[in-house]
Amino acid sequence: MQKLVIASNNPGKLREISRILAPLGFEAVPQSVYNVPEAEEPYVTFVENCIAKARHAAHLTGLPALADDSGICVDALGGAPGVYSARYAGEPRSDQRNNEKLIAALVGHSNRRAHYYCVIVYLRHADDPQPIIAEGSWHGEIIDTPRGDGGFGYDPYFWLPELGKTGAELEADVKNGMSHRGQALRVLVERLGLGESSGDNCV
Protein backbone atom coordinates (compact mmCIF):
# COMPACT_ATOMS: atom_id res chain seq x y z
CA MET A 1 0.00 0.00 0.00
CA GLN A 2 1.26 3.46 -0.91
CA LYS A 3 0.66 5.86 1.97
CA LEU A 4 -0.51 9.39 1.27
CA VAL A 5 -1.94 12.11 3.46
CA ILE A 6 -5.38 13.52 2.74
CA ALA A 7 -5.47 17.28 3.26
CA SER A 8 -8.97 17.34 4.72
CA ASN A 9 -10.79 16.96 8.02
CA ASN A 10 -14.20 16.53 6.38
CA PRO A 11 -15.40 13.03 7.40
CA GLY A 12 -17.69 12.72 4.38
CA LYS A 13 -14.89 13.48 1.94
CA LEU A 14 -12.50 11.18 3.78
CA ARG A 15 -14.93 8.27 3.57
CA GLU A 16 -15.51 8.76 -0.15
CA ILE A 17 -11.83 9.21 -1.01
CA SER A 18 -10.67 6.25 1.09
CA ARG A 19 -13.40 4.01 -0.32
CA ILE A 20 -12.32 4.73 -3.88
CA LEU A 21 -8.54 4.65 -3.35
CA ALA A 22 -8.24 1.60 -1.08
CA PRO A 23 -8.85 -1.03 -3.81
CA LEU A 24 -6.21 0.73 -5.92
CA GLY A 25 -3.43 0.21 -3.39
CA PHE A 26 -3.43 3.59 -1.64
CA GLU A 27 -3.56 3.97 2.13
CA ALA A 28 -5.25 7.32 2.62
CA VAL A 29 -4.37 8.81 6.02
CA PRO A 30 -6.24 11.92 7.24
CA GLN A 31 -4.05 14.90 8.03
CA SER A 32 -5.50 14.94 11.56
CA VAL A 33 -3.45 11.79 12.34
CA TYR A 34 -0.35 13.97 11.96
CA ASN A 35 -1.88 16.94 13.80
CA VAL A 36 -1.85 19.01 10.63
CA PRO A 37 -4.06 22.10 11.05
CA GLU A 38 -6.36 23.17 8.26
CA ALA A 39 -4.65 25.30 5.64
CA GLU A 40 -5.77 28.79 4.72
CA GLU A 41 -8.01 28.88 1.64
CA PRO A 42 -7.77 32.51 0.51
CA TYR A 43 -8.35 32.02 -3.20
CA VAL A 44 -11.49 32.39 -5.32
CA THR A 45 -10.81 29.34 -7.49
CA PHE A 46 -10.99 25.69 -6.53
CA VAL A 47 -7.63 24.77 -8.05
CA GLU A 48 -5.64 27.45 -6.21
CA ASN A 49 -7.11 26.47 -2.85
CA CYS A 50 -6.54 22.81 -3.61
CA ILE A 51 -2.85 23.26 -4.39
CA ALA A 52 -2.40 25.32 -1.23
CA LYS A 53 -3.97 22.59 0.92
CA ALA A 54 -1.94 19.79 -0.64
CA ARG A 55 1.33 21.71 -0.29
CA HIS A 56 0.55 22.53 3.34
CA ALA A 57 -0.07 18.86 4.23
CA ALA A 58 2.94 17.58 2.29
CA HIS A 59 5.23 20.16 3.89
CA LEU A 60 4.18 19.27 7.44
CA THR A 61 4.16 15.48 7.02
CA GLY A 62 6.88 14.77 4.48
CA LEU A 63 4.42 12.47 2.67
CA PRO A 64 2.82 12.63 -0.75
CA ALA A 65 -0.40 14.60 -0.34
CA LEU A 66 -3.80 14.61 -1.93
CA ALA A 67 -6.17 17.53 -1.58
CA ASP A 68 -9.72 17.95 -2.74
CA ASP A 69 -11.51 21.24 -3.20
CA SER A 70 -15.10 20.95 -4.20
CA GLY A 71 -18.43 22.64 -3.94
CA ILE A 72 -21.74 23.26 -5.58
CA CYS A 73 -22.22 25.92 -8.25
CA VAL A 74 -25.76 27.15 -8.89
CA ASP A 75 -26.52 28.76 -12.25
CA ALA A 76 -29.08 31.28 -10.97
CA LEU A 77 -26.62 32.50 -8.33
CA GLY A 78 -23.75 33.11 -10.73
CA GLY A 79 -21.91 29.99 -9.61
CA ALA A 80 -22.34 30.55 -5.86
CA PRO A 81 -21.75 29.13 -3.31
CA GLY A 82 -18.73 27.82 -5.27
CA VAL A 83 -15.52 27.74 -3.22
CA TYR A 84 -17.51 28.94 -0.21
CA SER A 85 -19.87 25.94 -0.24
CA ALA A 86 -18.66 24.45 3.06
CA ARG A 87 -18.98 27.77 4.90
CA TYR A 88 -21.76 29.40 2.89
CA ALA A 89 -23.71 30.30 6.03
CA GLY A 90 -20.59 31.25 8.01
CA GLU A 91 -18.80 29.64 10.92
CA PRO A 92 -19.15 27.22 12.57
CA ARG A 93 -19.77 25.20 9.43
CA SER A 94 -23.20 23.62 9.23
CA ASP A 95 -24.75 21.61 6.40
CA GLN A 96 -28.21 22.49 7.67
CA ARG A 97 -27.62 26.24 7.73
CA ASN A 98 -25.83 26.13 4.37
CA ASN A 99 -28.80 24.38 2.80
CA GLU A 100 -31.28 26.75 4.40
CA LYS A 101 -29.37 29.75 3.01
CA LEU A 102 -29.21 28.18 -0.45
CA ILE A 103 -32.93 27.47 -0.60
CA ALA A 104 -33.69 30.99 0.62
CA ALA A 105 -31.42 32.47 -2.05
CA LEU A 106 -33.31 30.56 -4.76
CA VAL A 107 -36.78 31.79 -3.82
CA GLY A 108 -38.35 33.22 -6.98
CA HIS A 109 -35.86 31.59 -9.33
CA SER A 110 -37.24 29.14 -11.86
CA ASN A 111 -33.79 28.07 -13.03
CA ARG A 112 -32.67 25.43 -10.55
CA ARG A 113 -29.77 23.99 -12.52
CA ALA A 114 -26.62 23.31 -10.49
CA HIS A 115 -23.53 21.19 -10.58
CA TYR A 116 -21.08 19.85 -8.09
CA TYR A 117 -17.48 20.50 -9.10
CA CYS A 118 -14.37 18.84 -7.74
CA VAL A 119 -10.67 19.38 -8.35
CA ILE A 120 -8.11 17.02 -6.84
CA VAL A 121 -4.40 17.72 -6.61
CA TYR A 122 -1.71 15.15 -5.90
CA LEU A 123 1.75 16.31 -4.85
CA ARG A 124 4.64 13.86 -4.63
CA HIS A 125 6.29 16.25 -2.15
CA ALA A 126 5.79 19.81 -0.97
CA ASP A 127 7.98 21.33 -3.70
CA ASP A 128 6.65 19.16 -6.53
CA PRO A 129 6.86 21.32 -9.68
CA GLN A 130 4.42 19.09 -11.55
CA PRO A 131 1.29 18.55 -9.46
CA ILE A 132 -1.16 16.08 -10.90
CA ILE A 133 -4.52 17.81 -11.28
CA ALA A 134 -7.85 16.14 -12.00
CA GLU A 135 -11.40 17.45 -12.09
CA GLY A 136 -14.98 16.27 -12.37
CA SER A 137 -18.49 17.73 -12.58
CA TRP A 138 -21.86 16.28 -11.58
CA HIS A 139 -24.97 18.00 -12.93
CA GLY A 140 -28.43 18.20 -11.41
CA GLU A 141 -30.99 20.60 -9.96
CA ILE A 142 -31.79 22.09 -6.57
CA ILE A 143 -35.12 21.14 -4.97
CA ASP A 144 -36.81 22.85 -2.03
CA THR A 145 -37.57 19.76 0.07
CA PRO A 146 -34.77 17.42 1.16
CA ARG A 147 -34.90 13.74 0.31
CA GLY A 148 -32.72 10.92 1.61
CA ASP A 149 -30.42 10.55 4.58
CA GLY A 150 -27.17 9.52 2.88
CA GLY A 151 -24.32 11.60 1.58
CA PHE A 152 -23.49 14.96 3.10
CA GLY A 153 -23.43 18.66 2.29
CA TYR A 154 -26.09 19.64 -0.25
CA ASP A 155 -26.86 16.05 -1.31
CA PRO A 156 -30.43 15.93 0.09
CA TYR A 157 -31.36 18.91 -2.14
CA PHE A 158 -29.36 17.86 -5.20
CA TRP A 159 -31.90 16.31 -7.57
CA LEU A 160 -30.86 13.98 -10.39
CA PRO A 161 -33.70 14.00 -12.95
CA GLU A 162 -32.38 11.02 -14.89
CA LEU A 163 -32.51 8.87 -11.74
CA GLY A 164 -35.50 10.43 -10.00
CA LYS A 165 -33.43 10.65 -6.80
CA THR A 166 -31.30 13.08 -4.85
CA GLY A 167 -27.64 12.54 -4.13
CA ALA A 168 -28.62 11.60 -0.57
CA GLU A 169 -30.81 8.73 -1.81
CA LEU A 170 -28.04 6.94 -3.68
CA GLU A 171 -26.12 3.96 -2.39
CA ALA A 172 -22.51 4.87 -1.67
CA ASP A 173 -21.11 2.78 -4.52
CA VAL A 174 -23.61 4.25 -6.98
CA LYS A 175 -22.81 7.78 -5.86
CA ASN A 176 -19.05 7.19 -6.11
CA GLY A 177 -19.53 5.84 -9.61
CA MET A 178 -21.06 9.05 -10.91
CA SER A 179 -20.20 11.88 -8.53
CA HIS A 180 -17.85 14.78 -9.22
CA ARG A 181 -15.36 13.40 -6.70
CA GLY A 182 -15.56 9.87 -8.11
CA GLN A 183 -14.93 11.22 -11.61
CA ALA A 184 -11.96 13.29 -10.47
CA LEU A 185 -10.42 10.42 -8.52
CA ARG A 186 -10.64 8.08 -11.50
CA VAL A 187 -8.93 10.67 -13.70
CA LEU A 188 -6.27 11.12 -11.01
CA VAL A 189 -5.61 7.39 -10.79
CA GLU A 190 -5.22 7.19 -14.57
CA ARG A 191 -2.75 10.04 -14.52
CA LEU A 192 -0.83 8.56 -11.60
CA GLY A 193 -0.45 5.36 -13.60
CA LEU A 194 0.79 7.25 -16.64
CA GLY A 195 3.24 9.19 -14.50
CA GLU A 196 4.66 6.04 -12.91
CA SER A 197 5.14 4.34 -16.27
CA SER A 198 6.59 7.34 -18.08
CA GLY A 199 9.95 7.18 -16.29
CA ASP A 200 10.12 10.91 -15.61
CA ASN A 201 12.46 12.18 -12.91
CA CYS A 202 9.87 13.98 -10.80
CA VAL A 203 8.52 10.90 -9.01
Say how far apart CA 50 and CA 70 lie, in whole Å.
Answer: 9
Annotated active-site residue in 69, 75, 144, 200: 69
Cα torsion 167, 173, 186, 190 to 10°: value is -170
Q: Is 155 a catalytic residue?
A: no
Catalytic residue positions? 69
